[in-house]
Amino acid sequence: MSEEKRLHPITTVINALKTLREAFIPIVILVFLNRGEAESILDYLPFFIMGAMIILFLFIGVIKWWRFKYWIEEGELRIEQGLFVKKKRYIPFERIQSLNYTEGVLHRPLKLVKIKVETAGSSASTDSEAELTAITKQEADELNRIISSAKKKLKEEQSELVEGEEFVEQEPEEHILYKMSPKDLIVMATTSGGAGVVIGGVLIFLSQFGEVIPFEAVFAELVDFVEAGFLLAGIVAVLVFFFAWLIAVGLTFLRYAHFTVKLVDKDIVITRGLLEKKQTTVPLKRIQGITFDQNLIREPFGYTSVTIESAGGSVLEKDSNAIRLLPMIREKETYAILDQILPDYHWKTEFTGVPKRALKRYIFWKMLFSLVIIGPVSYFFFPLGLASLILIPFAIILGWWQYKTAGWSASRDQMTLKFRGISKQIVYMKKKRVQSLEWTQTIFQRKGDVATIHATIKSYTSGSHSSIAHVAKEDADLMMDWYSPEAEVKKVHEPTPVPEIDTP
């Protein structure tokens, strides 16, 4: 049994800030209640209430810190906590899947980390199994070592070893698979549409101050400025986008700086972050599927992002389920990395596309959606609203593009689906990881003898869904036969081997 330990005292501040963040909207309302000039002491009441709330949050943070204890006993991580009601939680080592590290702004100067304990069953809960808000790195590493050693020893005891053979603890093998370069970070920020997000965020923020900012006067000045010289207006527009791009690059560096992927024993360890450093551990056995994602900007240049769909984790923290393994990388470089992690996957296959009769269906539904937008806009904003008619050719192009992208492939134990919303996605799924596979057919699809196939793998509580519309009905039946326990494997398309890539 280890001695009972408390978290670092900085936990009191972190708890208070967390509570303060949750009460941000009520505090803002209190501040805006007193926007006029003070005529009596009662006019300062909202500020007194806000100050009292902050003091109360700090007091609650101190009590929470004092009541929180943790220790190791009998192969379990034991936690005792509770503000008014004492709670005890015992977590057996064998249930612990990973310890995820986070180093926030308040952690790093004091060489502390926050640890989130993820277990096999934590996906059904509303939060992580347990969280140690602030402990030293030495304590975190020691806790990780004890848990890993105990789990390995348990596996050795469960296996049939020769009598007299002793368990010898070995250092886990560590292999760096990928490091993100500054060039990749810049390309990622440039091709992610981050500049547009920054400009949109600024405009949304400014829209909240309509009573303070004279937007009509500003707009009039802007029109006069544009009329005065299109060249000057163009230069200003370029400068605005340039500074927005710089901000997007800066935010990308803060989040993804030092992005590294390592293979440690049978776990994937991902570290990233500049101000807030995060370390996420994903056991290989929890991987349910792999998704390649290419947006319209990255696709022509051959760049993609790779995401792991992982079972378990916290429902409130989706990053613990859909984990970005490779945020920005050339597609041709991904296979060598993924082969080291998941050698039993086939990464290049020959896809069966949707039939030619599906093309008109893809285009029809996209045009119908565009007309739903064009009609009201043209009517209420006539004649400028007629400019929305430009959506029609875009709808036709998007429908044709989705038709050309859609495809599927299935081998003995793997299904691969390729489809497009606006971004192109390829989802790789092992048969044993597919929770459900079904097809649906509308009245209109029945006439064309096509159907929509839906596949679900475990991720979050509801699962991660992928679907392809308007596949040939006979192909939908083949996929259902593939998923059926009584399926004849010979009926299904085998992946086409690629000579330049060694795939098992």
Query: Given this model, what pLDDT does residue 491 score?
Result: 45
**pLDDT exceeds cutoff 90 at 394:** yes
**pLDDT exceeds cutoff 90 at 99:** no
**CA 58/CA 51 separation, integer angstroms:** 11
Contact 122, 313 (CB under 8 A): yes
**pLDDT exceeds cutoff 70 at 484:** yes
**CA 90/CA 167 separation, integer angstroms:** 26
Contact 261, 270 (CB under 8 A): yes
Query: Given this model, what pLDDT does residue 31 score?
Result: 61
Mean of all residue pLDDT scores within the chain: 79
Percent of the chain with pLDDT over 90: 29
Query: Given this model, what pLDDT does residue 93 score?
Result: 85
Mean pLDDT for 386-394 is 90
CB atoms within 10 A of CB 38: 10
In three-state secondary structure terms, 45 is helix
Query: Given this model, what pLDDT does residue 55 score?
Result: 83
**pLDDT exceeds cutoff 80 at 87:** yes
* CA–CA–CA angle 57, 58, 60 (5° rounding): 65
Query: Given this model, what pLDDT does residue 357 score?
Result: 93
In three-state secondary structure terms, 446 is helix
**CA 199/CA 336 separation, integer angstroms:** 38
For residue 307, list its beta bridge partners.
291, 324
**pLDDT exceeds cutoff 50 at 37:** yes
Band the pLDDT of 497: cuts 50, 70, 90.
Answer: very low
**pLDDT exceeds cutoff 90 at 337:** yes
Could you write out the three-class secondary structure of 175-212? Answer: EEEEECCHHHHHHHHHHCCHHHHHHHHHHHHHHCCCCC
Cα-based distances in Å from 369 to 328, 372, 374, 499: 32, 5, 9, 43
Query: Given this model, what pLDDT does residue 54 score?
Result: 78
Band the pLDDT of 415: cuts 50, 70, 90.
Answer: very high
Cα–chain center distance at 134: 24
Query: Given this model, what pLDDT does residue 34 score?
Result: 56
**pLDDT exceeds cutoff 60 at 162:** no
In three-state secondary structure terms, 118 is strand
Query: Given this model, what pLDDT does residue 501 score?
Result: 39
- pTM listed for this prediction: 0.75
- Per residue in 121-149, pLDDT tens? 554 444 566 889 999 988 988 888 888 88
**CA 134/CA 107 separation, integer angstroms:** 7
Query: Given this model, what pLDDT does residue 198 score?
Result: 57
Q: Which residue has the higher pLDDT, 146 or 44?
A: 146
Query: Given this model, what pLDDT does residue 314 score?
Result: 46
Query: Given this model, what pLDDT does residue 122 score?
Result: 52
What CA dihedral angle connects 207, 210, 216 and 222, to 10 degrees?
Answer: -40
Pairing relation of β-strands 352-353 and 287-294?
A: unpaired
State the amino acid at position 55 in one-letter form: I
- Per residue in 197-243, pLDDT tens? 556 665 555 454 544 455 555 555 555 555 556 666 667 777 877 88
**pLDDT exceeds cutoff 60 at 167:** no
For residue 179, list its beta bridge partners.
260
Cα Dmax for the chain: 91
Band the pLDDT of 426: cuts 50, 70, 90.
Answer: very high
- Per residue in 470-483, pLDDT tens? 999 999 999 999 99
**pLDDT exceeds cutoff 80 at 409:** yes
Cα-based distances in Å from 471 to 134, 278, 290, 347, 438: 52, 42, 22, 22, 13
Please return the burial class of 172, using the count of CB atoms within 10 Å of its CB with bins 0-12, 13-18 and 19+.
middle
